[in-house]
Chains A and B, each alone.
Chain A
Amino acid sequence: MIWKSLDDFIAMGGYGFYVWGSYLVTAALIGAEILMLRARRRAVEKVRQVQIILSEQTKHETPS
């Protein structure tokens, strides 16, 4: 085992700031990308549902 304790693990041999600064920012950025993709997906889906409703309505309104 490389690490003696949790504190030892967090300290990263004195390089904790640099190591965790790298890993946490990377995790945050990738997390942000996933959330942004979800939000974009939801937004586009909402527009699509509205369009489906509108096209249904116009179908009924068109005189045959």
Chain B
Amino acid sequence: MKLNWFKYASPVTFYPLAGKLIPWFALAAAILTVAGLYLSFFVAPTDFQQGESYRIIFIHVPAAWMSMFIYIVMAGWAAAGLIFNTRLSSMMASALAPTGALFTFIALWTGALWGKPTWGAWWVWDARLTSELILLFLYMGFLALHAAIDDPRRADRASAVLALVGVVNVPIIYFSVKWWNTLHQGASVSMTMAPKMAATMLLGMLVMALACWMYSIAAALARVRCIILEREQQAEWIANLGEPI
């Protein structure tokens, strides 16, 4: 079977496909969230140094990972839209931005609630925290710039440039704990070293991260469907979708 990679590059074919995929990703997100919360609260042991406050990491770390992943994926779609001039790519970038901003905010919020009992401060101007805050501003800037330009295709191009320039911030966030002497601890899980935590803690964190992945995909697909309908209202295929869509 010859796979046509460009078949789903058009909103016409992608719209129904996304509609079919959403319930599966949403279901996976729900199941993984239940499993992840069970592991986080009932299986993972109490941390010998931090007590129970460490349980915040089960959302903090996955949310922080998602904030960076989503930004890279968003910038990738934005770049594809800029280079190939494909409107669906730009729509995907726009669909990812609010969810990315949400996870960035969650990472900062849970970080503050973890920092207060652990470091004694809600916030410090540390390289890791500051660069993550800049990430939130980049997401908000992307959304604001897109909303400020009336012509959607021009808005796509302008915000794509902003997204691409902002990519430079992602490695800064990731390596900030190595490059600077920060209050924020180093990576607990890395590609090259064995994780520095109990296996059940790590498992809980990974399951929660997977749940966040599934949720983000479902949310982005649901949003891109709205964007397609909003932007292509005049197109005949949308009228032809009929009653239930």
- The A-contacting residues of B in range 108-122, CB under 8 angstroms, are 109-110, 113-114, 116-117
User: A41 CB to closest chain B CB, in angstroms?
Assistant: 6
- The A-contacting residues of B in range 192-227, CB under 8 angstroms, are 215, 219, 222-223, 225-226
CA distance A57 to B116 in the complex (A): 63
B3 at the binding interface (Cβ < 8 Å): no
CA distance A18 to B219 in the complex (A): 27
**Which of B46, B99, B109, B117 sits near A33, CB closer than 8 Å?**
B99
List B residues at the A interface (Cβ < 8 Å).
Answer: 41-42, 45-46, 51-53, 55-56, 59-60, 63, 98-99, 102, 105-106, 109-110, 113-114, 116-117, 215, 219, 222-223, 225-226, 229-230, 233, 238-239, 241, 245
User: A61 CB to closest chain B CB, in angstroms?
Assistant: 17
- 17 new A-B contacts, CB < 8 A, other than A2-B46, A25-B110, are A2-B41, A2-B45, A12-B52, A14-B51, A19-B52, A19-B53, A22-B60, A22-B110, A26-B109, A26-B110, A29-B105, A41-B222, A41-B226, A44-B230, A48-B233, A52-B239, A55-B239
Decide if B239 touches A51 in the complex (CB within 8 Å).
yes
Decide if A13 touches B229 in the complex (CB within 8 Å).
no
CA distance A37 to B230 in the complex (A): 13
CA distance A60 to B52 in the complex (A): 69
Decide if B245 touches A45 in the complex (CB within 8 Å).
yes
Decide if A44 touches B229 in the complex (CB within 8 Å).
yes
The number of chain A residues with a CB under 8 A from chain B is: 29
CA distance A15 to B41 in the complex (A): 13
Can you list 8 contacts pairing A with B, beta carbon distance less than 8 Å?
A: A18-B53, A18-B117, A19-B53, A21-B113, A33-B98, A33-B99, A45-B245, A48-B233
Across-interface contacts of B59 in A (CB, < 8 A): 22-23, 26
CA distance A33 to B117 in the complex (A): 29
Q: Which residue of A lies closest to B42 (CB)?
A: A2
User: A49 CB to closest chain B CB, in angstroms?
Assistant: 8
CA distance A54 to B154 in the complex (A): 29
